[in-house]
Structure formats: C-alpha cells, structure tokens
Amino acid sequence: MTPPGAGVAGKEPEATDMPPAVSLRPQVLKKRADFLRASRARCQGTPGFVLQARERALGEAEGIRVGFTCSRKVGNAVARNRAKRRLREVARLVLPAQGQPGWDYVLIGRRDITATRDFAQMQADLTRALATVHGGRK
C-alpha cells in the first residue's frame, strides 16, 4: 500500500507538491536583553494588548522576531497562559502578512482583557498597531 500523496513509480513530483523551502513562521524572542531593547523602542497601546516594536541594526538576525509577555497582574497562571496563547495565535496570523523583516515585536498582555477580548478585534488591533508603528517610520 502506498501512502497518500506518493508519486507513481517513475514520475517525479511536481513543484507544487513540494513543501515551501522557507518557513514564514517568526522566530521567538527568548533572551531578556532582546525584550529590554524592544522596551526602549516604539510602543503602541491597543485595547487588547501593548505592542513594542524595534527595528534591528544591520548584521543582526534576519526575518521577523516576536516575543510575548504577561505579568502576574494579568491574573493567575491559567489566565496568563490563556492570554499568551491568544497573543501567539494573533501574531501567527497577522505578522507574516503585516510585519516587516528586520523588526522585533513584543506583545504584552493586559489585565482582564487579553484573555477575554473578541479574537477578531484582537487581530484588528494588531493590524492597526503595526500600521501605526510602521507608518511613523521616516
């Protein structure tokens, strides 16, 4: 039995059958120094979260990088984890299309709002915040 999607013997797979060579998934910020650099850069508040954005210098990592944080003010561990999951999903959906390579983004959850705000509104918030951050670019 051949697995689904397997080519017929003697036939090469077509270019459309191959997975993309480059992933559009942003890298995740993990080092405290990266978060501190982003905190000193541009900041845009939205009803659902705060966006911090920093354009990296030449020679630093390529592509889009993103970090997520929720302080204990957001709530207990369950509320913080839910808020971060929602922020990760919003970033996964919006940043590949709206984000710019060479930038670091940090999404900071807000108390009682990030975990409960309508998801479509959070996507719109991120799109609007990115436009504001990049629109102010000279």
Q: Is residue 55 part of a domain?
A: yes
Total count of domains within the chain = 1
Q: Could you count the other beta carbons within 10 Å of the beta carbon of residue 102?
A: 16
Q: Is residue 116 part of a domain?
A: yes
Going by pLDDT thresholds of 50, 70 and 90, the confidence category of residue 10 is: low
pTM above 0.95, yes or no: no
Backbone angles phi, psi at 79, to 5 degrees: -65, -40
Q: Is residue 13 part of a domain?
A: no
Burial class (CB within 10 angstroms; exposed 0-12, middle 13-18, buried 19+) of 38: buried
Contacts of residue 138, defined as CB under 8 A and 6 or more positions apart, other chains included, come to none
Domain that holds residue 46: 25-130
Q: Is residue 38 part of a domain?
A: yes
Q: Is residue 10 part of a domain?
A: no
Here the tokens at position 23 are: 């992933």
Q: Is residue 1 part of a domain?
A: no
pLDDT tens for each residue of 72-105: 999 899 999 999 999 999 999 999 999 999 999 9
Question: Domain with 116 in it: what CATH number?
Answer: 3.30.230.10
